[in-house]
Chain A
Amino acid sequence: MKKLSVGACLTCLAAVLAIVAFISYSSNVGGEGYYKDAVVSNFPLFVWGGVACLVVALVLNVVSKGKVIELISGVLRIGAPALLAFALMNLIAGRIDGLGYIYFSNADVAREVQTAANLGSAQTAIWSMALLGVATLVAVVAAFFSLRGKEQ
């Protein structure tokens, strides 16, 4: 029986967080409020690309060994956080205007724009960013650790 390594645990966690971030983003786009239908170009591509890298790295580690496999796995683990960071920055770029409008407009504008739906939409956007940011960080930290656990 193999015990899961710290690296594998963190990699799994990063993938899960990224998926949750994507779900949050989807509800942001699909729900009522300011960001309804406001899709961010290529966001799904980068998030799922990052998640795929993490998952493939994990799977490769389980099913096979060898230098090439280790190199491929390593490249995927280096690339995954970069893709997630890509997605995060795209999301920020796509949301920052609206957040500024909702939260930092002058009092007259704020009175009108800060509806419950818009504030909820903004908060979901912030949660999506936060989750993706944490996923990226966890993926970076995971890259410092080996995916292989000790035999028990």
Chain B
Amino acid sequence: MKSQKWTGLFRGLAALMACLYVVASLGGNITESYRNQIDGMLGTTSYVTVNDENAARFKKDYATIEDMKAAAKDIAIREGEEGTVIMKNDNGALPLNKDNELVLFGLAAYAPYPYTSGDLKAGNEDAVDLVAALENAGLKINQTVKDFYMNSILNKHTEMVPNRWTGELQETVAYDNIYDAAPGDMAQYQVVEVPASMFEEKGAPADWKSSVKEGSVGIVVFARGAGEGNTYAPGSALNYAGEATGKDPLALSDDELSVVDVAKETCDKVIVLINSGNTMVLKDIAKGGAHEVDGIAYIGVINDYQLTGAANVLTGEVNATGALPDTYVADNAANPAVVNFGGDYYADYEIVSTEGDDPRFPGETIGNTKASSFGGATTYNGGHYIVEAEGIYVGYKYFETRYYDAIMNPDYKAASAAGATQSEIWDYNAEVLYPFGHGLSYQDYTQTIKSLNVDNSDNGDITAVVEIKNNSDKDGYFLAQLYVQQPYTDYDRANLVEKSAVMFLSSGKTNVPAGGTADVTITVPTKYLASYDYKQAKTYILDDGDYLFTAAAGSHAAVNNFLAHQGKTVADGMDAEATGTVQVWNLAALDNTTFATANGTAITNVADDADLNYWTGTDTVTYLSRQDWEGTYPVNYNEVEIKIGDSPRKDEWIAELRGQTYTIKNDSPAAEGVDKGLRFNAQSIQDEQLADVNDSYWEDLVHEISIDEAVGAVIHGGSTSDTLSVIENPIVYQNEGVSGFTSAYTDEATGARYKFNIHSQTLIGSSFNPQLAYEWGLVEGNSGLWLQRYDLWGTGLTQRRTPYNGRNYEYISEDPMLTNRIGYGILKGCVEKGIMNGPKHMGFNDQEHNRGGVSAYMTEQKFRETDLRGFQGGLDDADGMAVMIAFNRIGATNAAQHPTMINDIVRKEWGYTGLISTDMMNNKYYFNAESMVMAGITQVADFAQNDSHINQGENGVDKTWAHISVDTVKNDSTLVEKARENLKYQLYTFARSAVLNVTTERVATWWDNAISIVKTCSLVLTCLAGVAWIATTAMNKKKERA
């Protein structure tokens, strides 16, 4: 009996240990896939870097982490100083007088947006909020109002909220009243601002007004949130009580205006601070508004330290040099782009899913309805579309050109009713409150182009030396902005080549002594002077005629300078006299050759099919042309019946909307990879390999990669690059985000953690300072070297087409060239430090609403001169090393499958050799694997692990796309070779970057060791218990027989 017990014990132990072995073995594989996240959670390090600092190609600029932190903090403060924009300053409201007490109103005054830390905000311990920033600047703040706001209205507290997953209660920051930080996906947006009438009800003392001293200045702060997957819906505002008001959510609500009113009632002067990345409607508080205030300042979307800089501007510690990166209008509906916004269905969108079987998904019913922003539905999501009928006329390019034409070209019917929102006849001064580039300086100054040189060779530059004269009696810092007017010729009118009456080129800043002068040299590639002619020349052209250059404090001042130069005055309708002079550069004859090639590639139309008219076969869409403002002003093309089934290209259109941009061939066997002994390491990759992606080493290297891994590594790019089994390339982690690396640096000496995502995209935009962007790029790059992380989605360069995009806070401006120059600066700095900083989301992520499928139709001129131009500075001019493609479609083609945008423009015309990633791959019916490979994507951003294979699904097919397998692709040599080419660019870029600066070695963490010990012990104990069980079983039988 006793021995039988031993039998059971050993059998049970064997079973237990066998289970443990299985769990430890497979669990080890799972933890391997999530090593990055586990390290982050447990504070462990799985990879150590062995490097010789002296031999490194990329060196840190800071000797200690304290120096690194100080540099990051300094940049952030300067962003606040240079990005804060004084929009309105009457009655001497600014700079603030330290003798006068401040009274802070508005929820955002005490909890500026964003009030939580995360991707957007670092949340370091020494972060400075507005109250602290103003107090640190020596200003006194009314305690009574501060107390009732902070203690009663906001009442910051923590709440124990159950974790959705574990049910465990977690401490979360919360407020009793706080503005909505995320507008949702075209949902109703509640403007949460406690109206002044409810102050007492919410805890303010009845006599709080008596606490406000004479001479006090009211500071009222209003915020608007934003976020991924968020898009504001026009007319969707709810008030504090939750009632629909029908107002624009970006306009000030009646509740907010009541706070302005009480501030005006109790304070001598009132200044409103705008804390938003989305352009707000400020008509009510602007000049002539019913609630006009003394001052308005833009502070963007702040981060840890920017408010220190903003306070330095508000107190006049530094001169105000920020300028508006967007046009502020009286009604957002005045933007012609808003007419076609949001999108809707084709009249017969179902035809995409009903017109025959899809051989890639046999037997599956696939819809064509829209999916959520994060996918998850069985749909091609090819039913929704918008028509970007405004063409190049976004923001100031529309308003200023129409203003100019109203005076200069009456035949163009600028002064017509079309597009007017404030009066019967369109009137610039009624529509526009604050123009692009507007920003008041405390110190009077003038800016004049002292010399101009235009080198119109293909790689030439425009170089303008702008002299700044400081007319004040104080040393100061000043902004110079360079604008140009290109000739708008008969040729342009005949061929619909659109020209803005004014185009921003670039800007710069300098210190100027009191009463003195200083020069700012502004350089910008001449190629940006050319316009794209998609009708006649089908390439870039430089028109004959006068090119007018001016330095001016904003786009509107620039236009007035041009008008004055052309003989116009206030008597002709100008709203102000010129403030500066104009320099002229003349081109005698139309040039359609110099910029018709780039990097040896002939430039011609590659996106005819982005035009809806291409598909309908008729002139369904009339794109906005300045020669007839009235007749071409956009209509909403979602209200025009568009039928796919009526198209002469019906089958082609349906195939494209199904994502069948490329179809796998079966007639050309691909060569299997052959190991020739080449490896990805520092010994093999020397200067000559680094200098040329076409060096034979790279071709030979990628031809070692098997068919399975070549295709698999591209279509399962994941968030970590895969290790390819033959070539032994290193793992490269991708990192977020647009404010800098979100990973924390832990100081080994002190244990202190610090985060370097302290940057503000909005304020770098309003700084108008490419040099500051470059310096931030260097700091961002240095922080990568400190963190030993080299691949980052670290900026956003999509054009802000409308004010409603929830990602606008990640982007720079409505203007492609301001975006271009800022992007150039940031990426140049990162490249110099070996950091692959990939800007988001190239290819018209103009709205988050249905971003995973909406078709954006446009002309090729818009295609090339707007969103793509914003990215060109960083990817082409700065030789950037990474980019993320947008979710949406360009025309009917998924941007990530757009072969000509990526292969022809980005790779060939721009000579770009870096990584090209998709955005989150969340819908296998929308994202088509083979088409992405053929488009040149180097890594599809799925949620894959280290699994660069196409055989991990049932029956050896791909786990996501069942029509993909080694068997189905091995006879398409074009596809396989394209996958290898894409990997060539990827590996080349890793080598160019700081990834190869160092040797990365895996080390065993404590949890690795624990898993190994459990594995080994459980295996040994399984065997021992098993042997013991067999032995005792045998002994039992002997005893039984005995």
Contact = CB atoms under 8 A, between A and B. Distances in A.
Interface of A: 7, 34, 36, 39, 41, 67, 70-71, 74, 77-82, 85-86, 88-90, 92-93, 96-97, 99, 101, 103-109, 111-115, 118, 136, 139-141, 143-146
15 contacts: A41-B953, A41-B954, A82-B15, A82-B19, A85-B18, A85-B19, A85-B22, A89-B30, A97-B943, A97-B945, A101-B943, A115-B372, A136-B19, A144-B9, A144-B11
Given A39-B954, A89-B22, A113-B376, 7 more contacts: A70-B1037, A82-B22, A85-B19, A97-B945, A106-B118, A111-B229, A144-B9
B374 A109 contact: yes
B4 interface: yes
B1029 A74 contact: yes
Contacts of A81: 15-16, 18-19
A142 B227 CA distance: 53
A74 B11 contact: yes
A145 B227 CA distance: 58
A96 B30 contact: yes
A87 to B, nearest CB: 10
A140 B374 contact: no
Contacts, number: 118
A88 B30 CA distance: 12
Contact of B184 (A93, A111, A139): A111
Interface in B171-206: 182, 184-185
A93 B15 contact: no
Contacts of A104: 165
Interface in B90-135: 118-119
Interface string B31-51: 001100000000000000000
Nearest to A103: B165
A99 B165 contact: yes
A145 B15 CA distance: 12
A143 B11 contact: yes
B943 to A, nearest CB: 5
Contacts of B806: 108
Contact of A34 (B14, B16, B119, B376): B376
Contacts of A97: 943, 945
A86 B27 CA distance: 10
A7 B227 CA distance: 57
B164 A103 contact: yes
A106 B666 CA distance: 43
B952 interface: yes
Contacts of B30: 89, 92-93, 96
A88 B14 CA distance: 19
- Max chain B Cβ within 10 angstroms of own Cβ: one of A82, A104, A106, A136: A82
A79 B11 CA distance: 10
A89 B21 CA distance: 11
Nearest to A75: B1026
Interface of B: 4, 7-9, 11-12, 14-16, 18-19, 21-23, 26-27, 29-30, 33-34, 118-119, 164-165, 182, 184-185, 227-230, 372-374, 376, 378, 806, 943, 945, 952-954, 959, 1026, 1029-1030, 1033-1034, 1037
Contacts of B230: 108
Contact of B374 (A71, A96, A113, A144): A113
Given A41-B953, A111-B184, A115-B376, A89 B27 contact: yes
B621 to A, nearest CB: 31
A36 B378 CA distance: 10
B626 to A, nearest CB: 38
B15 A139 contact: yes
B1033 A93 contact: no
A112 B374 contact: yes
Given A136-B19, A140-B15, A86 B26 contact: yes
Nearest to B373: A112
Contacts of B11: 74, 77-78, 143-144
Contact of A108 (B34, B229, B953): B229
A89 B26 contact: yes
Contacts of A146: 4, 7-8
Contact of A143 (B15, B373, B945, B1033): B15
A14 B493 CA distance: 80
A144 B14 CA distance: 9
A145 B953 CA distance: 39
A138 to B, nearest CB: 11
Contacts of B229: 108-109, 111-112
A96 to B, nearest CB: 7
B681 to A, nearest CB: 31
Nearest to A121: B376
Contacts of A39: 954
Contacts of A41: 952-954, 959
A26 to B, nearest CB: 15
A78 B165 contact: no
B87 to A, nearest CB: 29
The 8 closest A-B pairs by CB, nearest first: A144-B12, A89-B26, A143-B15, A108-B227, A82-B18, A85-B22, A108-B228, A103-B165
A112 B372 contact: yes
Contacts of B374: 105, 109, 112-113
Nearest to B228: A108
Contacts of A93: 26, 29-30, 33
B15 A86 contact: no
A146 to B, nearest CB: 6
Contacts of A79: 18
Nearest to B1037: A67
Contacts of A67: 1033-1034, 1037
A82 B119 CA distance: 42
- Max chain B Cβ within 10 angstroms of own Cβ: one of A74, A97, A114: A74
Contact of A77 (B15, B372, B959): B15
A88 to B, nearest CB: 8
Contacts of B12: 140-141, 143-145
A145 B945 CA distance: 41
Given A104-B165, A113-B376, A78 B4 contact: no
Contacts of A143: 8, 11-12, 14-16
